[in-house]
Amino acid sequence: MKPSTALPLPPQPAILIDSHLDAAQERSLADDVLDGLTRPFKELPPKHFYDARGAELFDRICDLPEYYPTRAERSILEQSATELAEITGAVELVELGSGTAAKTRVLLDALQAAGTLVRYIPVDVTESMVRDCAAELTSEYPGLRVHGVIGDFERHLHHIPPSSGPRIVAFLGGTIGNFPPGSRRRVLREIARLLKPGDHLLMGTDLVKDPDVLEAAYDDAQGVTAEFNRNVLHVLNRELQANFDPEDFDHVALFDRENEWIEMRLRARREIHSHVGDLDLAVHFREGEELRTEISAKFTPARLEGDLASADLELVRWLTDADGQFALTLSRPTASL
């Protein structure tokens, strides 16, 4: 067991939660809708799927037989968490897009067993997720402090509290793949700025594979992913007084072989004239017209190393599951070598 190298944290309750959403978040949704629904090829960023219902639907997706990424990533964590704890000596874990932190517990267990774990800092746009997981984890891990940050990891990274010792920043679930290549590198650079010498980034990425396997993972037989996809229209109806009928749209998931990413789209079943009340915006869909709601990039080792290098990060460990479906990479700032 490693002794803890944590600096003493100032006295604080077991749970602290900061919220950086509210009016600003509504503005971001409004801006994204105004921008994305007036383009020649309509598009919305995937972060708007995740209201409480969207987060619950995503949780159900994680248990679907077709959705292998969650199981694969969990198996890598189970196999490697002890080694990760040993290499990093982390006293705290910051998790971006933490959701229910289901897999995170594997890592927390290993850090606790190593005797270093002091604090967990979940960062997510879904308020209920951050609050629920803070309550659950402080009861599951006596003595653990949780400092939850309800916010957008594209805009609020500067609100993450200063570190109290070696830190792992975890970005699991393949969420980095939701960004197209240019933005992906920008986001990675911003995340890398959170890392001091001695800190590590632990990132999950889905790997390029048989397109049939990939497409099935985003178009399950029970239709849960279709509901998740349509949920963004429920969000627009509720948050911006829009009048979409989600049932007017088919769920589409396809693998773009050239870009090596999955696209989720909503395809209009008929011609639609809708209105977004709060923006006084008329939105027209031709029959068959599509709205792109998510990309999920798939990685090769070369793609990943290129992205990490562009953020001045160097690979420390490249870990995959037994079937080579998913990768977990541990990297650190090049300057710390």
Residues at the contact surface with ligand SAM, assessed by CB under 6 A? 47, 50, 55, 58, 62, 70, 97-99, 103, 123-126, 129, 152-154, 172-173, 175
Residue labelled with tokens 């951050």: 130
Pick 296 or 331: Cβ nearer ligand SAM: 296
Could you count the other beta carbons within 10 Å of the beta carbon of residue 322? 9
Q: How far is the CB of 141 from ligand SAM (least distance, A)?
A: 18
- How far apart are alpha carbons 241 and 268 in whole angstroms? 20
Nearest distance, CB of residue 149 and ligand SAM, angstroms: 9
The minimum distance between CB 3 and ligand SAM, in angstroms, equals: 30
Strands (E), the chain: 15-19, 42-43, 92-96, 119-124, 145-150, 167-171, 200-206, 249-256, 261-268, 272-276, 281-285, 290-297, 313-320, 326-333
User: How far, rounded to the nearest angstrom, does the alpha carbon of residue 139 sit from its chain's CA centroid?
Assistant: 24
H helix runs in 40-126, sequence order: 52-62, 68-88, 104-113
* Of 157 and 268, CB closest to ligand SAM: 157
Burial tier of 190 (Cβ tally within 10 Å: 0-12, 13-18, 19+): middle
Are the C-beta atoms of 22 and 133 separated by less than 8 Å? no
* Tokens found for residue 151: 């916010």
Least distance (Å) from ligand SAM to the CB of residue 13?
A: 23
CB of 115 to ligand SAM, least distance (A): 25
Q: 47 vs 147, which CB is nearer to ligand SAM?
A: 47
Is the CB of 48 or the CB of 274 nearer to ligand SAM?
48
Looking at the chain, how many residues does it have?
337
Which residues touch 153 (CB under 8 Å, ≥6 apart)?
Answer: 96, 97, 123, 187, 191
> Minimum Å distance from CB 202 to ligand SAM?
11
Distance CA 300, CA 115 (A): 35
Minimum CB separation of residue 130 from ligand SAM in Å reads: 9
Shortest distance, CB of residue 337 to ligand SAM, whole angstroms?
Answer: 28
- Measured from the CB atom, the residue of 97 and 166 that comes closer to ligand SAM is 97
Minimum separation from the CB atom of position 11 to ligand SAM (A)? 28
Place of tokens 């632990």: 202
Comparison of 147 and 274: residue with beta carbon closer to ligand SAM = 147
- Nearest to ligand SAM of 89, 99 (CB atom): 99
- Cβ closest to ligand SAM, residue 18 vs residue 154: 154
The residues, ordered by sequence, that sit 6+ positions from 177 with a Cβ below 8 Å of its Cβ are 184, 205, 206, 261, 295, 296, 297, 298, 299
Nearest-angstrom CA–CA distance, 146 and 136:
10
Q: Is 173 left (phi over 0), alpha (psi -120 to 50) or beta?
A: left
> Which residue lies nearer to ligand SAM by CB, 153 or 218?
153
